[in-house]
Structure 1
């Protein structure tokens, strides 16, 4: 049998007649997608086949007619298939339908259109007994048209009925949950904020020179608060400081102790039932570690921002008199947003432990307005702040770590020794005027500020190695740092 594609202009060969009453599949392989018929005794009526939803009804085959199943894929009225011509095959399990006595047309093919039945399934009625092709073509075309009109009319009526019932359901009509069910993942910024926020306060300062705002950290449940010196500077006898707590309470505070050189201060509010912050450590905090800053930037209390530790041991002048080494900090650098008003607030790790006291930001411009965050913020390491806060709380003052030298800028990178304090750690270690200090332990010293920051990062009594560049070459000495009030 030659291959025939509908619409190609070729006529299919006449199938070979089979003995009367034999099965369409006996001795032959049915075409793909066509279900074989069951054998029936000659002359017996064909049983009704169970119809699949949407499948056409199988007509009985009278004697003398060629079985439609033997026409294989050549009959143009067979249902479409993915592998052959659009009208080449019927899905498996469905029976094909062809007009009895009709010959396939070479140029016109029409798929069968489903007809709605009372049972809810589509069925195709048996075709009339006609010998003319035009009758079948016209009948099928008319059937398809009627089905299209019926479908369009029903769809239009349903659409009209629904549209007549008013607007559809919107999100505004839905009931909302009683509360947010979001659970903070372990180590998330959300969880850190939930833990630390109760321990952060807003400090409001009013003096004869004006007013200002900053932040503070609760360090005891009975009202002790750690903050920056420059936040409460001026809040003595002629000023007033008020603390606004996260639980909505407020109370006036008094200054317990200040240390301008470290830019730290401790104040006290007469209030109880507070939540003290958990203090961490900063010596082993790696660069790149995630951190969260909390405070009151521009008066917006309880503001939470996040970032990373961008650098460590950064010498920074901040929080006091501009240009004075008294305000040099051995700072942690972070890209978490820190703005005016964040000063004195905590910088915490992802466990909610305080690792630094936010103190300064870098301001690249010389504008008249307040500077904002450019991703360069600085915090006092908690290792240094913890020691000084203890001394301020207990005695009202703190001791500073010193090497016992006066330094300046030399012709080479380092800190040039201009004077040595008699009996101090430097003199005892053998450091002389004119020496150029280039390293403390393994930390490079490139200018006077870096030496001040390196020394203040230690506590009094710590022993350090000092590398010196002098006339006879580099040498290393051991020095025991001292403390001074």
Structure 2
């Protein structure tokens, strides 16, 4: 009895683990008081059983410690790799809380067995075991929370967040930079252009011209209407030849004057074959005119009007036109066309310069001759009757002489004018040159056929006059011109038809020396030759 209380007193200050030992000891003491032999038997058997269980538990504890070590190694490996691999590795291990719990229970059982073997130090041994169990349990707590994978996940999330935020930042910078680049492009800023850059179009300062009334008011006094009367011949159903008078309408520009005459530039096809010309001025007064000179190859002519036949009010109303510079024209430049459209009187149309140096071939409706020239294209309406009228720039200067319109049901706004820089020297020559009296007229001595642009294209021949026959003893034979030669130039003037050749020769007296250019066939091609010719007399 004393031993029981003593033993109980010794274990009073112990923790929960020692209370288990006290209970076991007291129970055995009670049994011993009842049956000593039976108690000894059970005590010995219990000690053997406790030893056996202790041995098994120690083996199991060793295995569990190995598993715990393996788990710790796996957790360390998880922290070095990715969080995804850490989760997989952690799932393969037993739950850490369960493992710690089993370990703690094992320590308690082991403490009971030791208490059976050595009751006196059971409390101390149990305290040591419990301390170890608490350490194991604490380690299991961190493992149960998967602290290593959490750190790895946080690191990965931080990296991902950094990448995403960096990408967003760079994207914002790119979009902002693109916006600035686009804005620079729209504003025409070429400061960032490289040496290989094609550059950007500059900002235009052009304005739309809607009111040309001031231009028209200033220029209209220099524009005239021309009515040409000519005789036409036709054959009736019986084959008899009959003649009738025909009228054609056109326009002209007063380009020069002297003390006695006014000089009006127009198209050759307006006055060609005319028996009489009637000129109507801006004040609606009329006067008769005569052809001063023509140049069929350029479709130009000059009409002369004596001042003495004009009324004083007409002389005070009319003006000489100011001539511009067609070489300075630019495509898209505004233009104004004035002329006697359809014979209704002077009318005004506006447009722009559509193109420059357009090669255009036209055919004379009366003679059937074709001529080719480089013209200015405009979309300002040029209608029948506008021929010979003025094409003006925004300064009111004449930059072209309206010549032809492309007529087709599928085409609109394609009119053409002779550039004033091309026309001016020809007009000046026609004004200053005087026709030679018939008694002093010159003669070349050939019969020719026109080589038009169509013939030249089809037969691969140069345009001009084909020499079909040469008069014996004529100036042409003496100079060395041969049958088959094609005359292309006469004393510096382009020749594209017999009419053009005759028109040029009317200004030369017999005996005048001129240079004539011909193209002669040579082994399938044509070679140009320049021949000096002394013109013969027409009356010889």
Normalised by the length of structure 1, the TM-score is 0.42
If each structure's helix is expressed as a fraction of its own residues, which one has the higher value? Answer: 2
Normalised by the length of structure 2, the TM-score is 0.38
